[in-house]
Amino acid sequence: MRHAPSLAAVSEQDLQDSPFAALGLGRPIVQAVLEKGYTSPSAIQQQCIPAVLAGHDVMAAAQTGTGKTAGFTLPMLERLRHGPHARNNAVRALVLTPTRELAAQVGENVAAYSRHLDLRSDVVFGGVKINPQMMRLRRGTDVLVATPGRLMDLAQQNAVKLDRVEILVLDEADRMLDMGFIRDIQKILALLPPKRQNLLFSATFEASIKKLATGLLHNPVQLQATPENRTATTVEHVLHPCDMARKPDLLSHLIKSNNWQQVLVFSRTKHGANRIADRLSGEGMEAAAIHGNKSQGARTRALAGFKSGEVRVLVATDIAARGIDIHQLPHVVNLDLPNQAEDYVHRIGRTGRAGHNGHAVSLVAAEEHELLRAIERLIGNPLPRQEVPGFEPTIHSAPPLDLSGGRGRGGSRPAAGGRREGGRSRPVSAPGSGRRGRPLAR
């Protein structure tokens, strides 16, 4: 969509004095940033914006909640606004994301930051009808945000032309590799012009990301805003020991007794998410589940209701662990610890964002001891333990959960073979093994 330029809302002095202007961004973009309430750039933005404006390829490691979306969106828009518009199904800048929710969020940010620019942007992902997307793309799109699978569908039907892409962004590249998108990414790269600017953003610089970057980036500027796999200092962590069978009771107790009004709960399985959402709703707390088996419409409605306050508790699988930006979300609860320690960082990164304080609670059973050890080793600190009166654990030692596809003692059953939604199976690293369990190509 296009947005008519207008520079009336912010004073001239505000525009001139803004640190964003000092980084080299033009007046229309600085105004849009100020109108969103941002007064100073984050660390990753301070590093990334000048590098992108200078035309460099960028490889950046940034934890969730650090402002990396604006870090690539703002300079990308600044570069695009000085060139000719896209026409006839062409795309000038392409942003690839691993999930539909992240694509929608990035698209919202692009629209907000370009509101005073004469640029057209669009978002395409699966789970919805493809024909309306094909119709919208006919005129050309200056910025297209897409998930790899739907983009390939559109390209195969000649609904979008990628041979004029000037800027390529891989957002959450490590997540895309985790979800098995490497082949789609390779096919998409083959459709792009060889001369372009490439920006790769990832939570880590692990081996698979470095391998991808080697064939993608040309003399990249390497940026790292925060140490890898470190949690935000604005988040308060607490661990409540609890028997597996009593976790739902404890969750309900915590929400009611503390009068939490907006809580994001992470469940290991889709069925578990449904059960918890149904239970909480039955107890008078408006709750909704969001996971890969839900239709895109249901996922969009659940997330919108949670952001607006109509839904008090959103119960999610790890499909929501990255990319969901909920303004000042106060509480995240790990009903189940994640299979992969790295996902703990991404889950709790939903709270404590943009300098606000957050609260991360983990309900941990004896069966999850090895998962807990892996998390504490990764983040470099033990999680503070606090027993809740009336919910003290009676089981202090138990065999670890079976994450290979069978049932653990807690009755929690992951998808077949430990499969993650939208991707392929990934082995769980044994504590002390040193393995990350993340193959590059699947």
* Tens of pLDDT, residues 330-373: 899 999 999 888 888 878 877 755 556 788 899 999 999 999 99
Dihedral angle computed from the Cα positions of residues 189, 191, 196 and 201, in that order, rounded to the nearest 10 degrees? -30
- Do 266 and 218 belong together in one domain? no
Question: What is the number of domains present in the chain?
Answer: 2
Average pLDDT of the segment spanning 369-396: 93
322 shares its domain with 373: yes
* 3-state secondary structure (DSSP) of residue 222: strand
| 213 and 261 part of one domain | no
Judge if 81 and 103 occupy the same domain.
Answer: yes
Whole-prediction pTM:
0.69
CATH number at residue 203: 3.40.50.300
User: Is 191 within a domain?
Assistant: yes
Of 195, 224, 253, the residue at which a domain comes to its end is 224
Let me know whether 241 and 108 are in one domain. Answer: no
Q: Where are the beta strands (DSSP E) in 34-140?
A: 58-61, 91-96, 121-124
Same domain, 322 and 264: yes
User: Six-digit token pair at 337?
Assistant: 């610890």
Q: Indicate whether 96 belongs to any domain.
A: yes
Looking at the predicted structure, is the pLDDT value of residue 121 above 90? yes
In a domain, 120, yes or no: yes
Residue 6, domain member (yes or no): no
| Strands 121-124 and 235-241, sheet pairing | unpaired
The mean pLDDT of 89-98, rounded to a whole number, is 96
- pLDDT given for residue 383 in this prediction: 93
Instruction: State the pLDDT at residue 426.
Output: 38
Same domain, yes or no: 270 and 215: no
Residue 435 has pLDDT above 60, yes or no: no
| 38 plus 101 within the same structural domain | yes
Full residue range of the structural domain in which residue 64 is found: 12-224
Which regions of 294-384 does DSSP assign to beta strands (E)? 313-316, 331-334, 358-364
Q: Taking 90 as the threshold, does the pLDDT of residue 378 lie above it?
A: no
Pick from 162, 189, 224: which residue ends a domain?
224
